Chain A
Amino acid sequence: MSLWIGDGMLTHLRDVAEWPDVGERYEIQGRLGRGGMGVVYAARDRVLDRDVAIKVLDTIDPSGVAARRLEDEARILGRLEHPGIVPVHDAGRLADGRVFYVMKLVRGKQLDAALDVSTSLNERLDLFLRICEAVSFAHALGIVHRDLKPQNVMLGRFGEVLVMDWGVAAAIASATVDDAVVGTPGFMAPEQSRGGDGVDARVDVFALGVILETMLPAPAPKPLAAIARRASAAQADQRYDSVQLLARDIAQYRDGEPVTAYQESFLERLARFYSRYRVPIVLLVAYLIVRVILALWLRV
């Protein structure tokens, strides 16, 4: 009689038949997800006794382009040592020749799933600023991400904010858009979707503007809506020149300062002034009222 394979065993066999042979050091524990050219697995690093994630190339690649891209991704991550960027631990080729790299296993939620009605505006802005810090750091090293979107930002269980999936990142100096590229409609700057040269750090500014829009509550405060609009302007030269400038405007708003993207009216300036100095203003008014009462009382 042949072996009965139940649904659970069948699912397991389908999984393990697909798992790559990652050698003796790592023990695959399950599949985490699939990207454009690779599959990411959860694994145990036996040598360092810790959980890791392994990204393995998983596409037919006769020209070797995809393999080079995954190797580039590993090298880029290797250069980007920043608390907001997932660290890479190891890279190489499997026994079957496929390229892989090992990175930190991030347990948490994607940005779009992590925000809910209980997330305050200030918390949202702080998160956004931390995303900006990581992207800005990459830009400072001459790397542009090119596929920023909420699904590529992970919020760890201990408050970490990590920018993931640098699979289509490239050096700013050499970043062009070719047929094989990449990016996500809706988050991709017009010049990136059109193709051709001229892709620079401002494509990330564009994507960050769209991300900001998705993070803001509705209706968004006017200055923040203006910041998002400016960051995601169709014309690159109408956007912020850098992520740092975008982040500075956000920080200005958070601290009750005027922002460059929005020309406020006198009343709005007054309201912002009051909002920023509410405590001293209230104390001053209270003091003046008490003085007036005292003066009137003493006169009587």
Chain B
Amino acid sequence: MNFPPTRLSVVARTRSGDEVTRRLAFATLIEAYWKPAYKYLRLKWRLDPEDAADLTQEFFTSVLEKDVLGRYDAERARFRTYLRICLDGFASNAKKAEGRLKRGGGVTTVPLDFRTAEGELVRHEPSVAADVEELFYQEWVRALFQRAVADLRSSAQASGRDTMFRVFELYDLVEPTGDRPTYAELGRRLGLTPTTVTNHLAAMRRQLRQHVLDRLRDLTASDDEFRAEAQRLFGTTS
């Protein structure tokens, strides 16, 4: 497996002295973690949708304002685990202070689509509900792939490879319950030979992997953490 070139991870960039860099890093972080956090609060802490949405907002605002990430030690835990433990602590404190806590709390909120997240939770009952920590991971992986697929779509469009992405979309971006066409059927539909379909799929999958690894690199704090996460994600021994 090829590792993306080392650069400052999003965790490191949240500690940047430059305000813009820091804000952008937080935005990336929130994008990757808000859905896992929201669903985790709903399922583990059994909060109703409104309270879970508020607490998610407050949590990320607190992360942003109270230098929660400054205390992160890569030697002691994976970043994802650290953030989940922080979320547990935050939820626990919020429960204790329930009487005093004003919903919203007048904090700056981040625009997050909780209605969609709640819809996902209702429509797709989590298959790992019994283990909410696993659910947090699963949601994090889902968010990672959602971003990577969006990256893939953008890069394909930017490089005039719309047909390649279309092949990928029709073959790989379908639920297994649906009818996945054969390469020959897909080729007939798009006016391509089965060999071209094979090549397009291989190219798109390779690029998807690269986008996932790029995102993963960004979301992990060290090379070791990146390798461990990549190994868990793809099962690679590397």
Contacts and interface: CB of A to CB of B under 8 A. Distances in A.
Contact of B120 (A4, A36, A59): A4
A59 B238 contact: yes
A110 B173 CA distance: 34
A27 B145 contact: no
Contact of B146 (A2, A17, A37, A60): A2
Interface stretch (B43-51, B93-101, B197-205): B197-205
The 3 closest A-B pairs by CB, nearest first: A8-B176, A17-B209, A21-B202
A12 interface: yes
A286 interface: no
A24 B176 contact: no
B177 interface: yes
Contacts of A59: 236-238
Interface in A5-28: 5-14, 16-19, 21, 24, 27
Contact of A16 (B141, B199, B205): B205
26 contacts: A3-B149, A3-B150, A4-B120, A6-B175, A7-B138, A8-B175, A9-B173, A10-B138, A10-B145, A13-B145, A13-B172, A14-B233, A16-B205, A17-B205, A17-B208, A18-B209, A18-B236, A21-B205, A24-B198, A24-B199, A34-B235, A58-B236, A58-B237, A59-B236, A59-B237, A60-B238
A267 interface: no
A1 interface: yes
Contacts of B174: 9
B238 A58 contact: yes
A4 B175 CA distance: 10
Interface residues of A, number: 29
A16 B180 CA distance: 14
Contacts, number: 82
Nearest to A7: B127
A45 B61 CA distance: 54
Contacts of B124: 4, 6-7
Contacts of B116: 1
User: B-side binding surface: helix, strand, loop or mixed?
Assistant: helix
Contact of A5 (B142, B177, B206): B142
Given A8-B177, A21-B206, A46-B194, 8 more contacts: A2-B146, A9-B175, A10-B138, A12-B172, A14-B141, A24-B198, A59-B236, A60-B238
Interface of A: 1-14, 16-19, 21, 24, 27, 34, 36-37, 39, 46, 58-60
A128 to B, nearest CB: 32
Contacts of B202: 21
Highest count of chain A CB atoms <10 Å: which of B1, B177, B199: B1
B212 interface: yes
A34 B237 contact: yes
Contacts of A34: 235, 237
Contact of A60 (B1, B145, B195, B233): B1
A17 B127 CA distance: 22
A18 B234 contact: yes
Interface of B: 1, 113, 116, 120, 124, 126-127, 138, 141-142, 145-146, 149-150, 172-177, 183, 194-195, 198-199, 201-203, 205-206, 208-209, 212, 233-238
A1 B149 CA distance: 13
Contacts of A2: 146, 150
B122 to A, nearest CB: 12
A17 B235 CA distance: 11
A59 B238 CA distance: 5
B235 A18 contact: yes
Contacts of A19: 205
A58 B230 CA distance: 13
A245 B120 CA distance: 65
A24 B198 CA distance: 7
B195, B198, B209, B233: residue with the most chain A Cβ atoms closer than 10 Å = B198
A1 B183 CA distance: 29
A17 B212 contact: yes
Contacts of B126: 7
A27 B175 contact: no
A36 B183 CA distance: 32
Nearest to B119: A4
Contacts of B138: 7, 10
A167 to B, nearest CB: 13
Contacts of B198: 24, 27
A31 to B, nearest CB: 8
B209 A37 contact: no
A10 B141 CA distance: 8
B223 to A, nearest CB: 12
Contacts of B183: 27
Most chain A CB neighbours (cut-off 10 Å) among B113, B150, B176: B176
A3 B116 CA distance: 11
Given A2-B146, A5-B146, A27-B183, A14 B234 contact: yes
Nearest to A28: B202
